[in-house]
Chain A
Amino acid sequence: MKRFSKFAYPYAIWMGILVIIPVIIMVILSFLDINGFNVKDAEFTLANFQELANPTYYKAFFRSMEFSFIATVICLIIGYPIAYIIHRSNFKNKYIVLLILILPMWTNMLLRLKAVQLISLPEGFFKNTFGISFDFYGTSSAVILGMVLMYLPFMIFPIYTVLEKIDDSLLEAAQDLGANKVKSFMKVTLPLSLKGVTSGIIMVFLPSAMGFTISEILGGERIQLIGNIIERFFKRSFMYNLGSLLSLIIIILVIGSLFIISRIDEEGETLL
Chain B
Amino acid sequence: MNEVIRVMQPKKKIVIGKILNILKWVFFGSVILFLYFPIFYIFIQSFNASSTGNSFTGFTFKWYGEMFKDDTLMFAIRTTISMAVIATAVSVVIGTLTAIGINSMNKSRRRKMILLNNIPVLNADIVTGVFLMLIFQIVGLILPGVSVFGYTTMLISHIFFCIPYVILSVLPKLNEIDNNLYDAALDLGCSPTRALWKVIVPSIKAGIISGALIAFTMSIDDFVISYMTGGNGVQNFSMWLYSIKNPFRNNAMQKASAYNTLISVGTIAILIIYNIVRKKKKGINK
Contact = CB atoms under 8 A, between A and B. Distances in A.
A contacting B, Cβ–Cβ less than 8 Å? yes
Interface stretch (B81-89, B147-155, B253-261): B253-261
B104 A149 contact: no
Contacts of A8: 98, 101-102, 104-105, 113
Contacts of A22: 130-132, 134-135
Contacts of A153: 35
The residue in B36, B127, B238, B264 that gathers the most chain A C-beta atoms within 10 A of its C-beta is B127
Interface string A249-272: 011001101100010000011011
Nearest to A253: B124
B203 interface: no
A236 interface: no
Nearest to B110: A268
B160 A211 contact: no
A125 B122 contact: no
Contacts of A247: 126-127, 130
Contacts of B74: none
Interface in B222-270: 223-224, 227-228, 237-238, 241-242, 247, 253, 256-257, 260, 263-264, 267-268
A258 B115 contact: yes
A4 B100 contact: yes
Interface string A2-37: 111111111110011111011101100000000001
A101 B256 CA distance: 22
A269 to B, nearest CB: 8
Interface in A88-121: 99-101, 103-116, 118-119
Nearest to B268: A103
Given A21-B135, A111-B257, A11 B122 contact: no
Interface in B112-147: 113-119, 121-127, 130-135, 137-138, 141
A7 B98 contact: yes
Nearest to A216: B242
B192 A3 contact: yes
A108 B260 contact: yes
Given A1-B103, A18-B160, A250 B127 contact: yes
Interface string A227-244: 100110011000000011
Nearest to B244: A114
A98 to B, nearest CB: 12
B32 to A, nearest CB: 7
Nearest to B127: A247
Most buried by A among B131, B163, B267, B268: B131
B256 A111 contact: yes
Given A1-B104, A18-B135, A181-B2, A104 B39 contact: yes
Nearest to A78: B31
Contact of A230 (B56, B94, B127, B242): B127
Contacts of A9: 101
Contacts of B28: 82, 85
A207 B122 CA distance: 8
B129 to A, nearest CB: 8
Contact of A128 (B54, B163, B172): B54
A115 to B, nearest CB: 4
Contact of B55 (A4, A129, A231, A271): A129
24 contacts: A1-B179, A4-B100, A8-B102, A18-B135, A19-B131, A21-B135, A101-B35, A112-B39, A115-B45, A119-B41, A124-B54, A125-B45, A128-B56, A149-B35, A206-B124, A210-B124, A210-B125, A211-B126, A212-B224, A243-B130, A258-B119, A262-B115, A268-B114, A271-B118
Given A99-B271, A125-B53, A210-B127, 5 more contacts: A15-B117, A149-B34, A213-B242, A243-B130, A254-B122
